[in-house]
Structures are given as C-alpha cells and as structure tokens.
Amino acid sequence: MAYEIARALHVPLDVLPVRKIRMPDNPEFAIGAIAGGTVVRGADSAAQVATRAFEQLMRSERAELRRRERIYRRGLPPLDLQEQSVILVDDGLATGCTMLAAIREARRLKAAVVVVAAPIASDNAEALVRAEADTVVTLDIATNLFSVGDWYEDFEQVSDSAVLELLAGTDLPNTRVT
C-alpha cells in the first residue's frame, strides 16, 4: 500500500519498522509496540501482562526490528524526517498500538506533519491515532475489529525480498538503491 501511495504522489518511499508486542496467549492482540527508540504500552496491557513479561516480549521483538532495519536499509541511513511531512501507512489499525509507536517515532525524528493512512480501523484505534496524528485517512471504521486480516481476501505476510523490491522501485524519487 505504501509503495502505491508513494508512486501516486511521486514521493520517496522508506520504511519505519515497527513491531507489535503480542499478547502471549493471543498473538493477534497487540499489547504494545516498538519503533526505533519509541515504546508504546497499550493502556489495558498493564492489567494483563506484568512489566517483566512485557519487557521480555519487547526484547525479542526488538531483535526482529533490528534485523529488518538492517536488511531493508542495506547500510543506508533512514530518510531525514526533520521538518518533513510524512505519511505513515499500515494495512489496518486494530488496537492502534503499532501506529502510535510509528507516530511517536516520526515525531521524535522531528517530522513536521504526520499523516496516517490505513484502509480499515477500529473505532477505538482511529480515535487513539487521531489524537496524535495531524491527519488520519481511513476507508472504513469498524466497531468490532478483532483482526485486520479478517477484512482482506488475501492477508499473506509480505516477504523481505518483496519489501526490498518495492524499496528499490526505480519509478520513485530518491530511490533507496545504492
């Protein structure tokens, strides 16, 4: 989705990797998220997961976050977000935790304007994200959104090689190819 938006708007495409911290007995449910130096802990996660367990879950997700950043960036630094307008794209917002981490990381990196785009959002996640983003664009808001994947006909994970191919898109400005 982000590639198509970047192509349509003729803007650079980059990744801001975010990892969902999952509820141990329900991997679809986010109890928090991490992005760069930003950690978000879901409001209701404190009652469900002890701090020590949360930190342990976060450590394993941080390792995957670093792996993806290393692979996707290929040694290149991230695009400079300082005083830039950025569009953060996700396939959907169920709890809003992952997008909150992305928004806060973009703000930490001094983005001037943060726009969020997602085709589907729960009403709670949309309200949570709207409170921190400058603009939120969704195609549909659902009252009972338990799993983003339920809204897709095909919800296969995007492979690292597919991400690399999209980041190398020669039809985008400031392509990430070295």
In a domain, 176, yes or no: no
In a domain, 39, yes or no: yes
Question: Helices (H) and strands (E) in the chain — how many of each?
Answer: 6, 6
**CB atoms < 10 A from the CB of 156, how many?**
8
- Residue 57 DSSP SS3: helix
Residue 176 pLDDT > 80, yes or no? no
Across 34-43, average pLDDT: 87
In a domain, 25, yes or no: yes
Q: What is the pLDDT of residue 48?
A: 63
Give 16's Cβ-side CA count (13 Å radius). 31
Name the nearest CA neighbour of 60 among 104, 109, 27.
27
Q: Amino acid letter at 80?
A: D
Q: What is the pLDDT of residue 56?
A: 85
- Residue 110 DSSP SS3: coil
Whole-number Å distance between alpha carbons of 167 and 3: 8
Residue 120 pLDDT > 50, yes or no? yes
* pTM of the full structure: 0.87
Residue numbers of the domain that contains 136: 2-167
Number of domains in the chain: 1
In a domain, 103, yes or no: yes
Residue 46 pLDDT > 90, yes or no? no
In a domain, 88, yes or no: yes
Residue 102 pLDDT > 90, yes or no? yes
Whole-number Å distance between alpha carbons of 85 and 104: 14
Three-state secondary structure of 143-159: CCCCCHHHHCCCCCCCC
In a domain, 174, yes or no: no
Q: Give the rounded percent of residues in the chain with a pLDDT score beyond 90.
A: 37
In a domain, 86, yes or no: yes
In a domain, 178, yes or no: no
What CATH number does residue 91 fall under? Answer: 3.40.50
